Structure 1
């Protein structure tokens, strides 16, 4: 499994997800689309947005609202105030990290997480800061966690779902549980699940997170492209 020639949908992963698999979680106005606020902050506009598309997004979000444009390369009008800029990478799983295992290999401490686990998931995210996570983010896909003595100590989930692809996200382990291989087991669990349904795994990672980059490369992920994540405040 090599080559990125079939990865065009990953050029606009937010828009492709909201127009497809996540359409039931979307809000739309004209050419603009965004997630329901309780699920995610990500928004998208057409590939070459005109002034009307940006006006649609501003109206959709409301005045003075946060516009998380994810990896969108287009820049909004000058009256949109920058909030953050973060350099990162988009990586694709190529299958070079060894065969994806079956779920039977992982033991009873790996559990599927759902609505009842949201308070613990939010607490773990607050402690580890893997990226944006909201009360309904788990509705984007399947989440697995590791429990130690009943306490949630590690988690990995699915996020964006452009056609043919599933993004792995929310990779986090509590400080007291690091060094035990939980992240590797959970990542391999997700790789197995995603490939079994015919999708290909991909993910995004901050350029400065050298430890995560090394881990993903060991598991068979390769960099497709460098991206810049940006957020703005609407006029």
Structure 2
């Protein structure tokens, strides 16, 4: 069983990481938010994540159905409520949320800041290594760092969700022929250093079944905070709006 430290709210306030996508889209990433009522989403070419408030009502579910792309459905994480009757659950999984608990964050001399000009190579690297959703505008969510060998982008890591006071490290990947050299670890620590320089705290999400990654991040000084459900669901056809 996963040992997760419960969050103890202060002054009745929810922790921004409890519903991290909603916290980001109503906070530092509000300028990216596509909104209908209380339902929010990132642009389709930036991230698949959508968000609802902690206790959504029928109107909220109707609004997120209207925001959904019919071909992609609704991707939610962090909510503790089930989709309404009639919604199809396409995929359900568990992700672990880990937070900085004294990692040795440090810049890396070999890491370079990636820009829009690098996006084709970043997309190709993500396609080869499957670190999770990485789309043409994902780079706009935060700073991305990369390492090149012989001019070729062989590893990268960057920033994704930004709830108030926190930044998620994501997109961590290394080409197959460069694994085992510690490139991903170095980039994670370098991205974390940049996050700390802004006065924010790094965190990340890992699929619960990826035990090797969980062990690695814990060895770097990340601490397990909570487990959360990741669900891909589709609304009834009659509620979808193209």
Give TM-score scaled by structure 1 length: 0.92
Q: Report the Cα offset of residue 72 of structure 1.
A: 2.1
Give 1:91's aligned residue: 98
Aligned residue pair count: 227
- Alignment match, 1:141: 142
- CA shift, 1:60, in A, is 1.7
CA displacement at 1:74 relative to structure 2: 1.9
- Listed as ranges, the gaps of 5+ residues in structure 2 are 1-5, 237-242
CA distance, structure 2, for counterparts of residue 118 and residue 72 of structure 1: 31
Stretch of structure 1 that moved more, 63-72 or 130-139: 63-72
Q: Is the 8 Å Cα contact of residues 19 and 77 (structure 2) preserved in structure 1?
A: no
Greater alpha carbon shift after TM alignment, 30-39 vs 71-80:
71-80
Task: Provide closer, same or farther for how the CA distance between residues 4 and 192 of structure 1 changes in structure 2, counting only shifts above 3 A.
Answer: farther
2:114 matches 1:113: yes
Cα deviation 1:123-171 (Å, max 9, x = unaligned): 1111111111111011000000110101011110100000000000011
Deviations 1:40-88 (A, max 9, x none): 1111111111111000111122556410012322221122211211112
| CA distance in structure 2 between the aligned counterparts of 1:178 and 1:144, rounded to whole angstroms | 17
For structure 1, which runs of at least 5 residues remain unmatched after alignment? none
In 2, Cα distance between equivalents of 1:179 and 1:206? 21
Which residue pairs with 2:222 in the alignment?
A: 221
Q: 2:73 maps to what in 1? A: 66
8 Å CA contact 1:64–1:233 kept in 2: the answer is no
Q: CA deviation at 1:196?
A: 1.2
Determine which of 28, 39, 61 is the counterpart of 1:32.
39
Kept in 1: contact 2:125–2:153 (CA 8 A):
yes
Distance 1:16 1:127 in 2: 31
Q: Which portions of structure 1, spanning 4 or more consecutive aligned residues, are displaced by more than 3 angstroms?
A: 3-7, 62-65
Residue aligning to 2:182:
181
Q: Are residues 126 and 64 of structure 1, via their aligned partners in 2, closer, same or farther at CA, if it must alter by over 3 Å?
A: closer
Q: 2:53 aligns with which of 46, 64, 85?
A: 46
TM-score normalised by structure 2 residue count = 0.89
The DSSP-based 3-state class of the residue aligned with 1:8 is coil
Take 1:212 and 1:123, find their aligned partners in 2: how far apart are those partners?
Answer: 22
Structure 1 counterpart of 2:85: 78
Summarize the Cα distance change of 1:111–1:4 in structure 2 as closer, same or farther, 3 Å threshold: farther
